[in-house]
Structure 1
């Protein structure tokens, strides 16, 4: 997947170098065959390694992840 056009953002609360960045991009048609709601993907990467790997989440996966963060599941 070509991520050169992705618009990466990080939290305004981010103050140091240990951050993640998030981008929302159009889904990958190949992935859409295997996952529901893959028409849009939420990407996460390490801000210290912008050329490194990115994790991809569908909208429902992203909503579940953010909900878990807000509920303290990862503390």
Structure 2
């Protein structure tokens, strides 16, 4: 479980593509402990639950996004 102290050092990032989504976006940022773990939260609920991914999990997700694996838009 992630502690509030660990989250205090996260430099949160929002995608520039989220600018027109009325705040309906996620924020992600690396934990400051040097572990390579990445925390993810809902931007409109920053005090709510946070999901933490390992470096390997995050890399797999990013690679999948780049390869179009999560393109669920109508074709």
Structure 1 gaps of 5+ residues are 28-38
Moved >4 Å (runs of 4+): none
Asked if residue 40 in structure 1 is aligned to residue 6 in structure 2, the reply is no
Structure 2 gaps of 5+ residues are none
Q: Which has a greater percent of strand?
A: 1
Q: CA RMSD in A?
A: 1.4
2:68: which partner in 1?
72
Q: Which has a greater percent of helix?
A: 2
1:1-75 aligned within 5 A: 1=3, 2=5, 3-15=7-19, 16=21, 17-25=23-31, 26=33, 39-74=35-70, 75=72
